[in-house]
Amino acid sequence: MAPVILESALLDVLPGREEEFLAAFAEARPLISVQRGFRSLELRRCLDEGRGSRFLLQVGWDTLADHTEGFRTSPEYQRWRALLHHFYRPFPEVEHYGEPLLDARPPASAH
């Protein structure tokens, strides 16, 4: 199986609009999950003091093109943009990463 590409973006949501953003994201999630090459999606909220409006989005893709040429040129992406992009200040920088160079996990339990 081909290595997974990890798309990563820090999403700075307008303060006070976090719950509205999460509701919109719940509506938008199915738009990405049906795309060719989609593998996974995680959205996490920052726990650091004063950073409750920051979220980390990570999406797994089969290939870079599945995201950049597939999803971003799809009709579903236009709906995704309409639902989510007005929540961000500043607009997030999206980066893509290749397969892990290190993968450290605790050893399997002995019981």
Q: What is the pLDDT of residues 9-53, one digit of tens each?
A: 999 999 999 999 999 999 999 999 999 999 999 999 999 998 989
Residue 3 has pLDDT above 90, yes or no: no
Q: Does the pLDDT at position 93 exceed 90?
A: yes
Taking a C-beta distance cutoff of 8 angstroms, is the pair 8, 57 a contact?
yes
pTM over 0.85: yes
Dig out the tokens for 8 from the structure.
Answer: 């990563």
- Residue 110: per-residue pLDDT: 57
Q: Where are the alpha helices (DSSP H) in 1-111?
A: 18-33, 64-65, 75-84
- Select from 101, 87, 72, 96 the least CA-distant residue to 18: 87
SS3 content of the chain, % helix, strand, coil (to 5): 35, 25, 40
Q: What is the pLDDT of residues 50-70, one digit of tens each?
A: 898 999 999 999 999 999 999
